[in-house]
Amino acid sequence: MAPRALIAGNWKMNLDRAAGEALAKALAAEAAAVSVELAVCPPAVYVASVGVALGSSGVALGAQDCHAAASGAHTGDTAAEMLADLGCTYVIVGHSERRADHGESDATVHAKAEAARRAGLVPIICVGETEAERDAGRTLDVVEGQVRGSVPQGLTGATLVIAYEPVWAIGTGRTPTADDVATVHAHIRKVLGEVSGDAANVRLLYGGSVKPANAAELMAVANVNGALVGGASLKAGDFLGIAKATP
Ligand code: PGA
């Protein structure tokens, strides 16, 4: 049986405190009406207030990044332990915007995923090829390399989520075909079998321009167990529309 789908919202650097709390409350009110698991990942400064707004609704709380260390002289950074302290369940690590904007390597992402495990958080580890890599026919090689380099050994369906996000599909309105997504997700599942004894139960999310209009097709693809949603996670109606279209 496929694992229960997860629809996770990556708010990125958007929404102010009031707007984030209002969105969280709107999602909390509808959580019981959807069969999938919902999660939101607000900006770090709002994780605490959004957590309060979600209350005991069952909508999970996540963050967008963490540092590899548990504490120390790391100005501006946030430890996974601090996120756990605020009630987070998830933390996104290795998002392509952090790989690009902050030069995060697979080794960095691996260390952050280990930090998440240490703190009792579930890392949502992001992988995905650039357009140039896709055009060069290197998609599977690139994604396989990122999985091998970024995913710690021994995590399970309960402690690991992977998001496949083609860089060229993020925020562009463009998406791969269902067949392309199926090919990449099957490959990730296969490679994951070498680093996790529980690969069949690890949720593999698709991310990149997911919206209500394309969610049914993308979420029905084999080995797709939910979505990581950016732009369409900023409006309750769109985010819930994606959740309702997900089997
Ligand atoms: P998008 O972003 O849905 O706006 O394309 C997805 C992501 O970056 O996680």
**What are the residue ranges spanned by the domains of the chain?**
6-210+225-241
* pLDDT score at 176: 98
- pLDDT above 90 coverage of the chain, percent: 99
DSSP symbol at 2:
P
Residue 1 has pLDDT above 90, yes or no: no
* Residue 39: exposure state from Cβ atoms within 10 A (0-12, 13-18, ≥19): buried
**What mean pLDDT value characterizes the chain?**
97
pLDDT in tens, 32-48: 999 999 999 999 999 99
Cα atoms found within 13 Å of the Cα of residue 12, Cβ hemisphere only: 15
Task: Give the tens place of pLDDT for each residue, 200-239.
Answer: 999 999 999 999 999 999 999 999 999 999 999 999 999 9
Per-residue pLDDT of 88-126, as tens digits, reads 999 999 999 999 999 999 999 999 999 999 999 999 999
Average pLDDT of the residues in 64-89: 98
Active site annotation includes 165: yes
d(CA 17, CA 235): 15
User: How far apart (Å, rounded) are the C-alpha atoms in residues 219 and 164?
Assistant: 13
- How many residues appear in the chain? 247
In whole angstroms, how far apart are CA 110 and each of 132, 161, 165, 185? 24, 13, 17, 20
Q: What is the pLDDT of residues 156-175, one digit of tens each?
A: 999 999 999 999 999 999 99
What is the DSSP track for 80-125?
HHHHHHTT--EEEES-HHHHHHS---HHHHHHHHHHHHHHT-EEEE
Nearest Cα residue to 206 out of 231, 154, 170: 170
96 lines ligand 1 (CB under 6 A): no
- 232: tokens are 């369409």
Gyration radius of the chain's alpha carbons: 16
Closest atom of ligand 1 relative to the 92 alpha carbon: 9
Question: Does residue 188 have a pLDDT over 90?
Answer: yes
Identify whether 95 is a catalytic site residue: yes
pLDDT greater than 90 at residue 70: yes
Ligand 1 proximity of 165 Cβ (cutoff 6 Å): yes
229: helix, strand or coil: strand
| 229 Cβ below 6 A of ligand 1 | yes
- Give me ligand 1 centre to Cα 207, in Å: 6
Name every residue whose Cβ is closer than 8 Å to that of residue 245 and which is 6 or more positions away in sequence.
212, 215, 216, 219
Pick the residue whose CA is nearest to atom 3 on ligand 1. Answer: 230
Residue 208 Cα, ligand 1 centroid: separation in angstroms? Answer: 5
Atom of ligand 1 nearest to the CA of 209: 5
Among residues 224, 244, 226, which one has the least CA distance to residue 236?
Answer: 244
Residue owning the nearest CA to atom 6 of ligand 1: 230
Return the CATH superfamily for domain 6-210+225-241: Aldolase class I (3.20.20.70)
Hey, what amino acid is at 210?
A: V
